[in-house]
Amino acid sequence: MRADRSALLALLETSVMYSITIISRAKVNLTLEVLGRRADGYHDLDSVARIIDLTDELSIAKADEGVIEIGSDTQGVPSGPDNLVHKACRAFFVATGIRAGARCNLVKRIPARAGLGGGSGNAAAAIAALNDLYECGLPVDRLAEIAGRVGSDVGLFVYGGTVRMRGRGERVEALPDAPEMHLVVVKPEVGVSTAWAYRELDRSPGRSQRGASDAAERAVRAGDRAGLIASMWNDFDPMVAAAFDEIASAKRSLLDHGAQAALLAGSGSAVFGVFATKEAAESVADSIRREFGNVLVTRTLPRRQPVSSPGGED
């Protein structure tokens, strides 16, 4: 019996040493201003974003040099270089010079093509996990630098909490924790192509409510929940809602059911409504599930509750 127990302990120690399972979370943009198209083809953005308590799960095991494998429980998730987790692993190994690999498996719960940043959160989680798995001890700013090479909004998930993003999204400033918000997220069946959304926005002159992100940051720093809600704005929102009846209907339904504000998530297609309490959010979600199939209740998270955490829910 003692020999069996020793063997089990050795197996557990090996498992801890060679693999890690962490949680990655979604985000919402409370403001999203698109300032213009850049010479490199990207757009300059100004956004106040918040991490929310919708989660995927990522497991990563050590592998031989050059091996990067991606598996998932969800059909349609890319397994090769098009997957942001794949790109994140490669960027981490290049940045650190570690001659190793990674076998990754994703359990997806965050709706895809929704503007909630599920893929970007997965990529940030991969960078954080590899930092722990290979015992690098890189600080948050260095992890965010690597994240910025992977995708425009990956860095915000490294910091977590409430942030302000500029540039193409890679310049991230951590803000104080904003007042908590309870959210109902509605994901219509329709998907919105990010490339299409930017093309359409470029054709829409005079679209932006300049200064929304400045107002949101002031409200965050003052702890002014009402002021933060009043500042919410997304340049994509009017254009996307006009183009997709399902999205306009979801936003209208949230407002009709008492949402203090309702806004498109990123470039869509999810819409989220802000409510005063968890109970109010749950009640509204129960009511509108008859109309919309994919309705989720969640909340915004403070920075002390990390974007990626071992094992499961905090």
- What is the rounded distance in angstroms from the CA atom of residue 312 to the CA atom of residue 309? 7
DSSP class of residue 296 equals E
**Which residue from 31, 33, 69, 37 is spatially nearest to 49, judged by alpha carbons?**
31
- 62: annotated active-site residue: no
- What is the rounded distance in angstroms from the CA atom of residue 200 to the CA atom of residue 244? 13
Q: Which of 46, 56, 108, 153 is catalytic?
A: 153
Sign of the four-CA dihedral 29, 245, 195, 197: negative
Q: Which three-class secondary structure state does DSSP give residue 117?
A: coil
Tokens 């943009």 map to which residue? 29
Q: What counts of helices (H) and strands (E) characterise the chain? A: 11, 11
Give the Å distances, CA to CA, from 9 to 14, 109, 113, 133, 163.
9, 32, 42, 19, 42
Write the CB contacts of 126 (distance below 8 Å, at least 6 apart in sequence): 58, 60, 85, 88, 89, 92, 102, 104
Give the Å distances, CA to CA, from 80 to 180, 190, 214.
37, 25, 39
Can you spell out the DSSP letters for 149-191?
TT-TTSHHHHH-SEEEEETTTTEEEE-PPPPP-EEEEEE-S--
What value, to the nearest 5°, has the Cα angle with vertex 121 and ends 119 and 125? 115
- 153: annotated active-site residue: yes
| Catalytic positions, written as ranges | 27, 153
